[in-house]
Amino acid sequence: MKLYNTLTQKKETFIPIEKGKVRMYACGPTVYNYFHIGNARPFIVFDVLRRFLEYTGYEVTFIQNFTDVDDKIINRSHEEGITPKEVSEKYIHEYFVDADALGIHRASAHPKVSEHIPEIIDMIKTLEEKGLAYNIDGNVYYHVDQFKAYGKLSKQSIDDLKSGARIDINDEKKSPLDFALWKKKKAGEPYWESPWGQGRPGWHIECSAMSKKLLGETIDIHGGGQDLIFPHHENEIAQSEGSCGKPFANYWVHNGYINIDNEKMSKSKGNFFTVRDIAKTFDLEAVRMFLLMAHYRSPVNFSKALLQQAATALERLYTAKYQMVFLLEKAANNMVSEAEKLWIATLDQYKKAFIETMEDDINTADAISVIFELVRDLNSSLDEHSSKPALLAGQTIFRELTDVLGLAVKDKETNLDAEVAALIEQRQAARKAKDFKRSDEIRDELLAKGIVLEDTREGVKWKKA
């Protein structure tokens, strides 16, 4: 398997630190609001990377943090009239509501900043002892000039970064590039005791400390959105490698940006969409489909028209899935024919092609194309005369590949199935009795419930509108 490594700026063969095991960390949300479509992309990308690694036999320990100590959380607590802790707990809950709807699996652990203050303080003390951090009146800063490798991830030199940095005349830092490791307490803010007085962590230090505690000093894969390369991930490298003297991560993986109707997403332009907003109009599985139809490193243009196209493509997968379920329910216990045995043997080509595309830097766009080639084959090869072994073979390969991407994973609702089946039976009886008025009434009744009927040669089938 090859992954594009931001650090080396090329695709590299993935070789884990420990054979058969992968340690992976991806930056999670700052929990002060519902997450937006831009946040959703890395959450989905690294969920798929993890699924594929597990599919190919790796034991994956995947960590995604929650930033629950931050200026934005404090500001939101003032707006909502609740404590910062209540804000973060509220939006952690809401994160899981939306993440579940997007088909994102729980990480191995979701550590919080507030629960790792001792580890953060220990790392800052180590950096201070090594001359990489300094304290000014209770504010502790990282001394960037003392870490000579600074800029290696973003491919910028310290001098270039300094020349482009904004300088605040009231800034107490030694250099404009220096960043906060510990912030002195301010009125109305949460705080913890520390060797430098009461205060709270800066943003960047949390990931370094939590990754070290849960995954060790060097990890296999660190990921996030492209916007995190600088300064966040650059600062993480300075902290982690500065404190222990070892590489922080062997592979740095970053996804591309999302534009909205060909413009950069921003609240000022009114094109800022939270996932919760989108859920009012679309099933969020369509959002997952939309984001996976592009390569994760490519920029993506989001629009409702393109999202509708993704929803339509997703519907094709569900149609194929439910068609196989329908045929299996109706299938007789026929012996598998010689022609079917030959066809079953050809199905492995789709699995091989799928794995090849995914091993090429997680190319989900081409992997989805492989799945649609499989669907075309299933639609043309399977019908009401197919044997159960042939139908099961087709269903198995379909589920195997779609499960890796987290697509078409929902089953029809059992209760709804029974209700719809009863109405279909009544409609069939009305048609047989030439009571077409009643037949049409039942069709309209089902349509009002969001159920569309299809009269096919195999019988009446239904799907959600």
State the binding site.
27, 207, 232, 236, 267
378 vs 459: CA distance, rounded Å: 18
Helix or strand or coil: residue 18?
A: strand
Other beta carbons within 10 angstroms of residue 381's beta carbon come to 16
> Between helices 117-129 and 205-215, what is the axis angle to 10°?
110
Beta strand pairing call for 459-464 and 451-456: antiparallel
59, β-bridge pairs? 21
Exposed (0-12), middle (13-18) or buried (19+): which is 109, by Cβ within 10 Å? middle
Token code pair at residue 138: 């209770």
Strands 139-142 and 179-184: antiparallel
| Annotated binding-site members for Zn(2+) | 27, 207, 232, 236
| Cβ atoms < 10 Å from Cβ of 118 | 12
Cα angle 198, 199, 205; round to 5: 135
Structure tokens at 217: 């000093």
**Cβ proximity of 386 and 408 under 8 Å:** no
Distance CA 16, CA 23 (A): 8
Contact in structure between 238 and 143 (CB atoms under 8 Å): no
- Backbone dihedral region for residue 182 (phi beyond 0: left; psi -120 to 50: alpha; all else: beta): beta
Q: Binding site for ATP: which residues?
A: 267
Burial class (CB in 10 A: 0-12, 13-18, 19+), 154: middle
